[in-house]
Structure 1
Amino acid sequence: MIANQFREPTGYLDFARFGPPSNAVLAERTRLTEYSAVAGPTTVDDLMRQDLRARAAVARLCRTDTDHVVLLPNTSTGLFQAAFGVTGEVVVSAAEFPANTYPWSRAAGVTPRWVRHVTEIPEALTKDTVAVSLSAVDFRTGFRADLAAMRETVGDRLLVVDGIQGFGVVDEPWEVADVLVVGGQKWLRAGWSTGFMVLSDRALERLAPVLSGWTGAEDPGLFDDSVHEPAPFAAAWSLTNLSPIAAGALNTALELVEQASVKQIEAEISAKIDELGDVIQRAGGQIVSSFEPARRAGILAFTIPGRPAETVGAALTAEGITATIRPEHVRLSPHVSTTADTVDQLSIALKRILPTGRSAGEPRRSVAGVLETLIPTINGLGSALGPGTEVVLHDLSKLPNSIVAIAGDLTYRSVGGPMTDLLLGLVRRGTTQDLTNYETHAPDGRPITSSTVFIRDPDGVAVGCLCVNSESTSASPPAQDVETFPGDVDTLQRHLVERAVADVGVPVSLMKKAHKSQVVKVLDDAGFFLIRDAVDYLAAELKVTRYTIYNYLNETRGPSPTQP
């Protein structure tokens, strides 16, 4: 890998703010600066070729060509270029980083249509909408937009994407964007004053190059006292020559990304996010950023309950951890060069924040050990209880495939199977009180008596549960099932959706927005969205986009900075 290219100090976890440049980038900047210091007849022309090298690297990573790429000094310049070239209604989230809100507010020809979150964009589109602008990765929550799905939703309108928090970090179909703007000072680690904009054919046709300088003209080298027409390709959005030293640095940074491969970089950063998330959760912290692998990039935001983010941030700084501190949370952002020592340093720092001097996660590890210890006893307990009885041990950290041990086949389930719909709903609502001797039915229709006892950590948090099911001797079995016992996650998903649709009482083909929103609310209460890929599954069932599902969730849960 390329980790040996970097030398940021242990404890640095702030790449979403600034990425310390690589050794190769520093060497290239030095080489080009020294070359300029001994200028000769060909020096300037040689240096200016760095622009083409950098554009070629961008084109390779974006699956386009150099005619569709123009170098820029930062993201803001590109977004202003896009905004001043548009006339009409533009849908944009007010929660975007200011670089993606000010341009649309300042451009005289634009009528901004503000939404609260990127997931609300589909519902905000009107016949007058000419463009949509969004970030590939949210700077606060780390939510990674589904660009391919958004492209389908936007249709023939212009799709403007701020890619600074995702480019070079996640493998996205960047070519679906009509305007892609990226600054190189964060995840690309190219240093300040580096960046680029990629324009699609649609953008070249529809955007007016209002801010087009002499280097954006058809004949930039022809000085005939005339103002020439803008170039017929992306160069039209060039204002003047940029620093060839910055262009060389950007090219070197992009070549490092190519050398490592974006997929490998994404995999390594994702693994580090998992490590950091584990440290935070073991310390009693709560992750408030998008944590589903498909919907995250390199940002991990968290809180420590009962402690202001400023207090947590100050303590981390005192322990040598570099992070971004916001009023609502602490934001961490690792890269491939983040070391195990940095992860350990974070763990130590979080332990020292707690008044007991130990991590709140230590008791949880002991409880996890108890669950592991119980696994071998399940078969013995099942044998002791005799035929017609089933004993099941669930580990709630493995939702929804929570069964870690089972003795008996009363419900035809096995290790790795999911919990029941009843148990999933209880966990979702936090109502994890013990249930004893309630009547329900096995999958084959036999009446059974069930009891569920929750296993808790020293803080009273449920971490597992022991369930005992036995053939019922009741003279009056229940008229309807209290819970169902699915054999796999697909069956659980299907059952929950079918039940929610039945509760609403309207066939999907006849549902209006209010009906579908109610289905989402019912499923949210039932714990449906604790299941991996639940949003995609439900979107297909309700025949809407995944963004619409997120929008319904936002509406039913109410506004929250932790929503994806």
Structure 2
Amino acid sequence: MARISPSYLLQFDEPAGYLDFARYGPPSHAVVDTTARLLNSSAKAGPSTVDDLMRQEVRAKAAVARLCGTDTDHVVLLPNTSQGLFQAAFHAPPGEVLVSAAEFPANTYPWARAAEAGRITLRRMRPPRGYVTPEVVARELTGDTTLVSVSAVDFRTGYRADLAALRDTVGDRLLVVDGIQGFGVVDAPWEAADVLVVGGQKWLRAGWGTGFAVLSDRALERMRPLLSGWTGAHDAGLFDDEIHPPAEFAASWSVSNLSPVTSGAFAAALELVEEAGVAAIESRIAERVGELEEMLRAVGAEIVSATGRRAGILAFSLPGHPAERVGAVLAAEGIAATVRTDHVRLSPHASTPASAVEAVRTALEHLSRPMPASQVPAASATDSVLSALVPAVSGLAAMLGPGNEVVLHDLSKLPDSIVAIAGGITGREPGGPMTDLLLGLVRRGTTHDLTNYETHGPDGRPIRSSTIFLRDADGVAIGCLCVNSEVTQGPASEVRAESFPPDVDSLQRFLVDRAVAQTGIPVGLMKKKHKAAVVRELDEAGFFLIKDAVDFLAGELEVTRYTIYNYLNEIRA
């Protein structure tokens, strides 16, 4: 294991199973203590308190400058990555901007909005696998290109851009780099960027509301600071009723005073990185990622993220198991991960212990491959339990008599989960899908039993239903037994809306029509917010657990499948 300062590791006490640093990094004791100390100081304010607090900005800028090999004149603090990228977009010189369509939305919307405002012309690249390589950029460059924007590390795949080679490729054009997924944990040539924008809430573990931009001399010369506030003006403290010109250097990008509390917390986080050393942190993360990859391959997972030039992100899928189910199993074992439509993303940090690897293995083994013959295989045990119940379905329906239906679902066969059915109340057959109600419960992970609720069958007649979830030895829901009965007497405990589609196509159609109807806007008149609302509703309903659901919905909403994926990424970010 790579050597790293013990004092650095003692700063953190996140749960061992926390593997989601690409989404958010739990802060250190130093960050928490600094925040508390500065807040306490502000609560007991005296004559010099505000001036003392404001010095935290100088402290944070100095730490940024040291880590970037520059000076504080070229550093400005920001509340988040998005603000810095919006400023870069609106400050950019006229001309064509190149940005990958596969970028995280924080690095696409600013350029799109600047183009809509007539500030620039935007051209979106579509590189293979989303990897923005020097070769891809070289093919896309034209004489009109004035700026290229790229992420240092891709949020989906962990692919690490070759910043030095990109610098050579773009030549004298401006190079804007979103460094949030790499700064502080990747030893990269950050000086290659003309504008480096970084948020502090992920790998830097500084908490929300922290970030910075570093500007090169080229950027300061060519970019006009339109989005510059009073704190970004020359003689900002001179209140003479005049509008002052922008300040010199990076300070011109300042809009207003930031919280000195978050600035102090940011400084504490950056100083911890300095203490441990970026190279040591990077090496430690790389070893843990390597261990996770080896383990995942051993349990039959497919690695879908970058395996060559990569940082701390490892994405995988488990053949035969929807990502949602894999994510639910991990969560049940206390593993924090990001679940996307077709994969699960793990992202450890230097403080992640080796026990996290074993915890993931424990959670996944029964989903991926049989255990030794001397033990009871979890997957085989699941099959045996459900197979043993199949003949019982007909017997139970016969015992209950006419007007009753018994259904057995196998959750590993989503959405065509019906493996046995008898009674004929809802007109379905084996191989048919589960109801919309059950699909939504599985998607949300709320697999608790539902008993004695009233709903309506396909023909509109009231029926009384109960759903009992069947679980394996680890407590994970593997199937459910449902009983539907004609209502003859007595009130039900509650009423629930439920659809009983005969096939998957009908289930898809029902879910989409319902989601569209809830917006109150016909598809032809929908704007982005309406389509995003449809995707959000369908995501919560479990629609994307259905095979080819993305393509089906893209056709219905008259957009590309990539647009649907972008909506999902925004919703789940």
TM-score (normalizing by structure 2):
0.62
Counterpart of 1:301 (choices 315, 319, 340) is 315
Q: How far apart are residue 343 of structure 1 and its match?
A: 1.2
2:55 alignment partner in structure 1 = 49
1:263 and 2:271 aligned: no
Pairing 1:362-381 to 2, within 5 Å after superposition: none
Q: CA deviation at 1:264?
A: 0.4
The equivalent residue for 2:294 is 278
Q: Distance in 1 between matches of 2:372 and 2:253?
A: 56
Q: Does 1:351 align with 2:361?
A: no
Alignment length (residue pairs): 359
CA distance in 1, matches of 2:364, 2:340: 17
**Post-superposition CA distance 1:503-552 (Å, at most 9, x none):** xxxxxxxxxxxxxxxxxxxxxxxxxxxxxxxxxxxxxxxxxxxxxxxxxx
Per-residue CA deviations over 1:426-483 (Å, capped at 9, x if unaligned) read xxxxxxxxxxxxxxxxxxxxxxxxxxxxxxxxxxxxxxxxxxxxxxxxxxxxxxxxxx
Matched, 1:339 2:339: no
Tell me, which stretches of 5 or more residues in structure 1 are unaligned?
Answer: 364-560
CA contact (8 A) 2:26 2:205 kept: yes
**Contact 2:31 2:269 survives alignment (8 Å):** yes
Deviation at 1:356, TM superposition (A): 3.4
- The residue that corresponds to 1:88 in the other structure is 95
The partner residue of 2:170 within 128, 136, 154 is: 154
- Structure 1 residue 355: Cα displacement: 6.5
SS in 1 for 2:60: helix
Pick one of 172, 194, 217 that aligns with 1:178.
194
Are 2:44 and 1:38 equivalent residues in the alignment? yes
Partner SS for 1:190: coil
TM-superposed deviation, 1:242? 0.2
How many Å separate the matches in 2 of 1:135 and 1:255?
A: 24
Task: State percent identity of aligned pairs.
Answer: 67
Contact 1:351 1:358 in 2 (8 A): no
**Runs of 4+ with deviation above 3 angstroms:** 354-359
Matches within 5 A, 1:452-467: none
Instruction: Return the offset for 1:288.
Output: 1.1
Q: How many angstroms does 1:60 deviate by?
A: 0.4
Amino acid at match of 1:89: E
Displacement after TM superposition at 1:312 (Å): 1.1
1:247 and 1:275 mapped to 2: Cα distance?
A: 35
Report the equivalent of 1:26: 32
Match of 1:11 among 6, 13, 17: 17
1:77 aligned partner: 83
Aligned to 2:258: 242
Q: Could you say which residue in structure 2 is the equivalent of 1:97?
A: 104
AA aligned opposite 2:35:
R
For 1:213, which of 216, 229, 235 is the aligned residue? 229
Amino acid of the structure 2 residue aligned with 1:234: A
Describe the SS at the equivalent of 1:36. Answer: helix
Compute the TM-score of the two structures, normalised by the length of structure 1.
0.63
Task: Specify which of 113, 117, 124 is matched with residue 114 of structure 1.
Answer: 124
**Runs of 5+ consecutive residues of structure 2 not aligned to the other structure:** 378-564, 566-573
Q: Secondary structure at 1:5's aligned position in 2?
A: coil
The Cα offsets for residues 167-209 of structure 1, whole Å up to 9 and x where unpaired, read as 0011001011000000000000000000000000000001110
Secondary structure at 2:38's aligned position in 1? Answer: helix
2:276 & 2:54 partners in 1: Cα distance? Answer: 27
Structure 2 CA distance, aligned partners of 1:270 and 1:327? Answer: 25
Matched to 1:114, the amino acid is: R
Contact 1:92/1:121 (<8 A) preserved: no
**Deviation at residue 93 of structure 1 after TM alignment:** 0.1
Whole-angstrom distance in 2 between the partners of 1:268 and 1:297: 11
Equivalent AA in structure 2 for residue 184 of structure 1: G
**Contact 2:195/2:215 (<8 A) preserved:** yes
Q: Structure 2 matches for 1:347-426, cutoff 5 A?
A: 347-354=361-368, 356=370
**Whole-Å Cα distance in 2 between the matches of residues 146 and 241 of structure 1?**
35
Matches of 2:372 and 2:302 in 1, distance apart?
17
- The one-character-per-residue Cα deviations of 1:29-53 (angstroms, maximum 9, x if unpaired) are 0010001111011100010010011
Provide the rounded CA distance (Å) in 2 between the counterparts of 1:340 and 1:121.
39
Please say if residues 321 and 367 of structure 2, whose CA atoms lie closer than 8 Å, have aligned partners that are also in contact. no
Whole-Å Cα distance in 2 between the matches of residues 291 and 30 of structure 1? 41
Contact 1:352 1:358 in 2 (8 A): no
SS at match of 2:150: strand
Q: Does 1:64 align with 2:78?
A: no
Letter in 1 for 2:69: R
